[in-house]
Every structure is written in C-alpha cells, then in structure tokens.
Amino acid sequence: MTSFRSSIKSIRAEWRYRSCVRSAIEIPLPCRPATIVSPHPDDETIALGGLIARKRKAGIPVRIVLITRGEASHRHCCGADPDLIAGLRLDQFFRATGHLGVTRENIHVLDVPDGGIPCPVDPGFEDLSNRISALIPVGEASEIYCPHPRDGLPDHERTAGLIEKIVLNRNEPFQIHHYPVWRWILAPTEKTSKKNQFLAGKLDIAPVADIKKRALDCYLDTPAPCGYPAGGILPPVILRFAREPREFVFMHVSPDRNQLRTKR
C-alpha cells in the first residue's frame, strides 16, 4: 500500500513538474545581489544550485542564510545524535556552497532548532525575522530567495512567512523569489485563484550543470551511522528534478507590498 501511495505521489510530482516546464516563462539571470534563505542544509543547492553558480560566475554577490543545522533528519530513523548529524550536514553544506562559489564570509548559520522555525503567532517569530533582516544591508535592493509559501513542509512554509514579514517591515524594493523543493510531491492541489498569485519563471542552468552536480553530490557522499544519507532519504523524484537543466522561481504577480498584506 505504501509503495502504491508513493508511486501515485511520484506520478503526480512528475505531472506537476512537466506542467511547470511547459507553462513557466524563460527568465534571464536575475542580476541583483541575492540573499538565499535556506531552512535546512541542501535546500539551497537542490532548488537553486544552478542560479547561485551562474550568479557567482557573473561576479554577482550571493549571501546564504541557513536557518537550521538540519539536526532532526534522523529523529524518526535511528535516533542518531543530533549534534553528530548537524556536524555532517554542515560539512556537506559548506562543501556544496563552496562548489557553487559562495565564500564563508557570505554564509550565516542561525542554528534555529530543526523543525522549530516559528510561524507568525509563535514567540520568536518577530525576533527571528529581525535577525534575518539585519543580515541584509539597508539600501542593497536585493533579491531574496525563500521556499514557496505552499511548499508542503512546515519549516519551508514558515521561512516564506518570515521573509514576507521582512519585506513588509522594510520600505525597500526587494524582489522575492520563491523556490520549490518539496512542492512537487507534497503541496496539496490548489485552486486556480491561488496558483495565479505567482508567475513561474524558469532559468537555464545547463552552462553550470556540472557545478551543480558536484554540489549535489556533497549531500550524498557522507551517510549517517545508520547508512542512510545524513539529510535523510530524499524521494528520488526530487533528486531527479534537481538534476534537470533548469530551475524554477515563483514571483508575485504584483510585487506590491499590499498584495503580501491581503494574500492569505
């Protein structure tokens, strides 16, 4: 029954991905300095490894904010020591982002508990959004990349909420780009009205495919003591999509701050 359900999910993910390939508009490489906000070590590379590599090759500054160390990935597997898992995953993260061309001084690890990224009603939400905001210099007019608000995983969706809060608080021309990680497989089917809030863009990453492959491989080369990948077992479709020669970003149809206020 489980394998039947997972094959249905894979077929649905494949259908969603291919529909997006057909409907998304080709976009050129966005050229502003970028802040990539990643809930866990690997999200930045799976979703945006090609974009990051292309930006760095073009000399565009990229900063990565890693919110958690990903220590909970074996909580429901073998119960391995969370600090040991975090150590493995951070090592993978630094090697992967190094391949993509991001230097250590442009990486910020916040060490929020994995699985515990706050939502707006939680204590700590305001404080965390302020901490992330403080890492983006005033007047930088940067692009901010965060997971899709309906990516299907609580930490991912809450990260999108934190970024929307920052954009609302600061009267600056930020461009938010939402990236999909688990969305293909986990997001519930949406009404057309919700889908239409975003414009899907696709970026050609073929010129840096080899760099992204090396970065992705970092996340597969050091298993946890139980033998499974340190970051847990990713559904094969997610890895397959990560190896495709394009990446997607979802942009607000109207980049108006009022739209963020009334969206939910």
Q: Give the interface with Zn ion as residue ranges (CB under 5 A).
A: 39-40, 43, 74, 77-78, 224, 226
Q: How far is the CB of 66 from Zn ion (least distance, A)?
A: 10
Which CB atom, from 24 or from 77, has the smaller least distance to Zn ion? 77
Which CB atom, from 78 or from 168, has the smaller least distance to Zn ion? 78
Q: What is the largest CA-CA distance in the chain?
A: 54
The 8-class DSSP code of residue 2 comes to: H
Q: How far is the CB of 130 from Zn ion (least distance, A)?
A: 22
Closest CA to 73 of 224, 218, 185, 183: 224
Which CB atom, from 80 or from 251, has the smaller least distance to Zn ion? 80
CA torsion sign for 23, 38, 77, 218 is positive
The token pair at 49 is: 């490894």
Which CB atom, from 77 or from 260, has the smaller least distance to Zn ion? 77
Contact status, residue 36 vs residue 63, Cβ threshold 8 Å: yes
**Can you tell me which residue has the tokens 């990903």?**
70
Which CB atom, from 53 or from 117, has the smaller least distance to Zn ion? 117
Q: How far is the CB of 1 from Zn ion (least distance, A)?
A: 23
Which CB atom, from 203 or from 224, has the smaller least distance to Zn ion? 224
Q: How far is the CB of 81 from Zn ion (least distance, A)?
A: 11
* Residue 15, φ and ψ in degrees, nearest 5: -65, -45
Q: Give bridge partners of residue 176 from the DSSP assignment.
A: 144
Q: How far is the CB of 209 from Zn ion (least distance, A)?
A: 22
The DSSP bridge pattern shows strands 246-252 and 175-179 to be: antiparallel
Q: How far is the CB of 222 from Zn ion (least distance, A)?
A: 13
Contact status, residue 84 vs residue 54, Cβ threshold 8 Å: no
Which whole-number Å values give the CA distances from 174 to 33, 191, 192, in the listed order?
Answer: 10, 27, 26
Closest CA to 185 of 222, 134, 217, 148: 148
Which CB atom, from 50 or from 70, has the smaller least distance to Zn ion? 70
Q: How far is the CB of 24 from Zn ion (least distance, A)?
A: 22
